[in-house]
Protein backbone atom coordinates (compact mmCIF):
# COMPACT_ATOMS: atom_id res chain seq x y z
CA UNK A 1 0.00 0.00 0.00
CA UNK A 2 2.83 2.40 0.93
CA UNK A 3 4.52 1.66 -2.38
CA UNK A 4 1.32 2.53 -4.29
CA UNK A 5 0.99 5.81 -2.40
CA UNK A 6 4.64 6.68 -3.03
CA UNK A 7 4.23 5.85 -6.71
CA UNK A 8 1.11 8.04 -6.92
CA UNK A 9 2.96 10.93 -5.24
CA UNK A 10 5.90 10.57 -7.65
CA UNK A 11 3.57 10.51 -10.68
CA UNK A 12 1.58 13.49 -9.41
CA UNK A 13 4.77 15.45 -8.67
CA UNK A 14 6.09 14.66 -12.15
CA UNK A 15 2.87 15.84 -13.79
CA UNK A 16 2.96 19.08 -11.80
CA UNK A 17 6.59 19.69 -12.76
CA UNK A 18 5.82 19.10 -16.46
CA UNK A 19 2.83 21.46 -16.22
CA UNK A 20 5.00 24.17 -14.68
CA UNK A 21 7.62 23.81 -17.40
CA UNK A 22 4.99 24.03 -20.15
CA UNK A 23 3.34 27.03 -18.47
CA UNK A 24 6.66 28.83 -18.23
CA UNK A 25 7.35 28.30 -21.94
CA UNK A 26 4.18 30.17 -22.94
CA UNK A 27 5.09 33.80 -23.31
CA UNK A 28 3.03 36.70 -24.47
CA UNK A 29 3.86 38.15 -27.83
CA UNK A 30 3.03 41.50 -29.34
CA UNK A 31 1.86 42.53 -32.78
CA UNK A 32 1.71 46.07 -34.10
CA UNK A 33 -0.99 47.67 -36.21
CA UNK A 34 -0.52 49.26 -38.62
CA UNK A 35 2.81 47.78 -39.64
CA UNK A 36 5.60 50.19 -38.74
CA UNK A 37 6.55 50.61 -42.41
CA UNK A 38 3.01 50.82 -43.84
CA UNK A 39 2.72 53.31 -46.68
CA UNK A 40 1.33 56.69 -45.67
CA UNK A 41 -1.88 57.98 -47.21
CA UNK A 42 -1.48 61.52 -48.64
CA UNK A 43 -2.77 64.06 -46.11
CA UNK A 44 -4.96 65.70 -48.73
CA UNK A 45 -6.42 62.33 -49.72
CA UNK A 46 -10.03 63.18 -50.51
CA UNK A 47 -11.63 59.76 -50.10
CA UNK A 48 -12.53 58.76 -46.56
CA UNK A 49 -13.03 55.07 -45.80
CA UNK A 50 -16.50 53.68 -46.28
CA UNK A 51 -16.52 52.80 -42.56
CA UNK A 52 -17.14 49.12 -43.14
CA UNK A 53 -14.97 47.75 -40.39
CA UNK A 54 -12.46 45.14 -41.45
CA UNK A 55 -10.67 44.68 -38.16
CA UNK A 56 -12.54 44.14 -34.92
CA UNK A 57 -10.47 43.26 -31.87
CA UNK A 58 -11.98 42.42 -28.49
CA UNK A 59 -9.79 42.00 -25.47
CA UNK A 60 -8.46 43.18 -22.16
CA UNK A 61 -6.82 46.62 -22.14
CA UNK A 62 -3.09 46.35 -21.38
CA UNK A 63 -2.03 49.97 -21.57
CA UNK A 64 -2.54 53.30 -23.27
CA UNK A 65 0.36 55.68 -23.89
CA UNK A 66 0.52 59.15 -25.42
CA UNK A 67 3.59 59.83 -27.59
CA UNK A 68 4.67 63.22 -28.97
CA UNK A 69 5.78 62.50 -32.54
CA UNK A 70 6.48 64.45 -35.71
CA UNK A 71 5.30 63.79 -39.27
CA UNK A 72 7.84 62.47 -41.77
CA UNK A 73 8.86 65.13 -44.25
CA UNK A 74 7.48 68.15 -42.43
CA UNK A 75 8.40 67.55 -38.77
CA UNK A 76 4.91 68.85 -37.89
CA UNK A 77 4.09 67.79 -34.32
CA UNK A 78 1.45 65.09 -33.97
CA UNK A 79 0.35 63.30 -30.81
CA UNK A 80 0.03 59.53 -31.18
CA UNK A 81 -1.68 57.02 -28.92
CA UNK A 82 -0.35 53.49 -28.47
CA UNK A 83 -3.24 51.33 -27.27
CA UNK A 84 -2.37 47.75 -26.35
CA UNK A 85 -5.09 45.12 -26.00
CA UNK A 86 -4.72 41.41 -25.21
CA UNK A 87 -6.77 39.43 -27.72
CA UNK A 88 -9.93 37.68 -26.54
CA UNK A 89 -12.14 36.06 -29.16
CA UNK A 90 -15.74 36.50 -28.08
CA UNK A 91 -18.31 33.69 -28.18
CA UNK A 92 -15.51 31.20 -28.53
CA UNK A 93 -16.26 27.72 -29.77
CA UNK A 94 -13.99 26.30 -27.10
CA UNK A 95 -10.90 26.06 -29.30
CA UNK A 96 -8.28 28.17 -27.61
CA UNK A 97 -7.23 31.12 -29.69
CA UNK A 98 -3.72 32.54 -29.37
CA UNK A 99 -3.17 33.18 -25.70
CA UNK A 100 -1.07 36.09 -24.61
CA UNK A 101 -1.30 37.90 -27.96
CA UNK A 102 -1.13 41.64 -27.32
CA UNK A 103 -1.99 43.85 -30.28
CA UNK A 104 -0.80 47.45 -30.07
CA UNK A 105 -2.65 49.94 -32.25
CA UNK A 106 -1.09 53.31 -33.03
CA UNK A 107 -3.38 56.21 -33.97
CA UNK A 108 -3.46 60.00 -33.86
CA UNK A 109 -4.72 61.56 -30.63
CA UNK A 110 -6.81 64.06 -32.62
CA UNK A 111 -8.63 63.71 -35.94
CA UNK A 112 -6.73 64.72 -39.03
CA UNK A 113 -9.91 65.95 -40.76
CA UNK A 114 -12.22 66.87 -37.84
CA UNK A 115 -14.89 68.47 -40.03
CA UNK A 116 -15.22 65.36 -42.21
CA UNK A 117 -14.80 62.67 -39.55
CA UNK A 118 -17.98 60.69 -38.75
CA UNK A 119 -16.97 60.93 -35.10
CA UNK A 120 -14.18 63.44 -34.42
CA UNK A 121 -13.95 62.15 -30.84
CA UNK A 122 -12.87 58.57 -31.63
CA UNK A 123 -9.52 58.83 -29.84
CA UNK A 124 -11.14 60.37 -26.78
CA UNK A 125 -13.80 57.64 -26.82
CA UNK A 126 -11.06 54.98 -26.73
CA UNK A 127 -9.62 56.55 -23.56
CA UNK A 128 -13.09 56.65 -21.99
CA UNK A 129 -13.85 53.00 -22.84
CA UNK A 130 -10.39 51.98 -21.62
CA UNK A 131 -11.14 53.54 -18.21
CA UNK A 132 -14.69 52.13 -18.04
CA UNK A 133 -13.61 48.58 -18.90
CA UNK A 134 -10.64 48.60 -16.49
CA UNK A 135 -12.89 49.92 -13.69
CA UNK A 136 -15.48 47.26 -14.40
CA UNK A 137 -12.84 44.50 -14.42
CA UNK A 138 -11.44 45.76 -11.12
CA UNK A 139 -14.89 45.92 -9.48
CA UNK A 140 -16.35 42.80 -11.13
CA UNK A 141 -18.36 40.57 -8.83
CA UNK A 142 -17.05 37.01 -8.68
CA UNK A 143 -20.62 35.85 -9.39
CA UNK A 144 -21.02 37.97 -12.53
CA UNK A 145 -21.90 35.77 -15.53
CA UNK A 146 -20.12 38.07 -18.00
CA UNK A 147 -16.65 39.50 -18.54
CA UNK A 148 -15.96 43.00 -19.82
CA UNK A 149 -13.68 43.74 -22.73
CA UNK A 150 -12.84 46.68 -24.95
CA UNK A 151 -13.55 46.49 -28.67
CA UNK A 152 -11.21 48.29 -31.09
CA UNK A 153 -12.29 48.60 -34.72
CA UNK A 154 -10.44 49.87 -37.78
CA UNK A 155 -12.29 51.00 -40.92
CA UNK A 156 -11.67 49.29 -44.23
CA UNK A 157 -9.33 51.60 -46.14
CA UNK A 158 -8.16 53.31 -42.94
CA UNK A 159 -5.75 56.12 -43.72
CA UNK A 160 -2.21 56.15 -42.38
CA UNK A 161 0.29 58.84 -41.39
CA UNK A 162 4.02 58.15 -41.21
CA UNK A 163 5.79 59.57 -38.16
CA UNK A 164 9.49 59.89 -37.41
CA UNK A 165 9.30 58.30 -33.98
CA UNK A 166 6.58 55.62 -34.09
CA UNK A 167 6.40 54.87 -37.81
CA UNK A 168 2.97 54.32 -39.34
CA UNK A 169 -0.14 55.34 -37.38
CA UNK A 170 -3.85 55.32 -38.21
CA UNK A 171 -5.82 58.54 -38.43
CA UNK A 172 -8.08 58.52 -35.38
CA UNK A 173 -10.85 59.50 -37.80
CA UNK A 174 -10.79 55.87 -39.00
CA UNK A 175 -10.88 53.90 -35.73
CA UNK A 176 -13.52 53.36 -33.05
CA UNK A 177 -13.71 51.90 -29.54
CA UNK A 178 -16.60 50.32 -27.66
CA UNK A 179 -17.17 48.23 -24.59
CA UNK A 180 -18.16 44.60 -25.04
CA UNK A 181 -19.08 41.65 -22.85
CA UNK A 182 -18.78 37.93 -23.17
CA UNK A 183 -19.81 34.93 -21.12
CA UNK A 184 -16.27 33.56 -21.16
CA UNK A 185 -13.37 34.68 -18.98
CA UNK A 186 -10.00 35.60 -20.53
CA UNK A 187 -8.00 32.56 -21.66
Dist. CA 45–CA 117, nearest whole Å:
13
Per-residue confidence band for 144, with pLDDT thresholds at 50, 70 and 90: confident
Domain encompassing residue 44: 28-182
Query: What sections of the chain are H helices per DSSP?
Result: 2-25, 122-138
| Beta carbons within 10 angstroms of residue 67's beta carbon | 15
The answer to whether residue 94 sits within a structural domain is yes
- If you average pLDDT over each of 39-53, 67-81, 104-118, which comes out highest? 67-81
- 90 Cβ contact partners less than 8 Å away, ≥ 6 residues apart: 58, 149, 180, 182, 184
The answer to whether residue 23 sits within a structural domain is no
The answer to whether residue 20 sits within a structural domain is no
pTM: 0.77
The answer to whether residue 175 sits within a structural domain is yes
pLDDT in tens, 2-59: 555 554 444 444 444 444 444 445 567 888 899 899 988 886 665 777 777 777 888 8
The answer to whether residue 52 sits within a structural domain is yes
The sign of the CA dihedral 66, 69, 71, 77 is positive
Q: How many domains does the chain have?
A: 1
The answer to whether residue 83 sits within a structural domain is yes
The answer to whether residue 21 sits within a structural domain is no
The answer to whether residue 33 sits within a structural domain is yes
Determine the 3-state secondary structure of 32 from DSSP. strand
Amino acid sequence: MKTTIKLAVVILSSLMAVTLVIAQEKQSREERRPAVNAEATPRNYPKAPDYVYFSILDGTPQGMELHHDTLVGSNTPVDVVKYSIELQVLNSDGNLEPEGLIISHFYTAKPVQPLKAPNPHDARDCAIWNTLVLDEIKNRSVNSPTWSYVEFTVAQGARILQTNEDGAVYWSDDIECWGSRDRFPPF
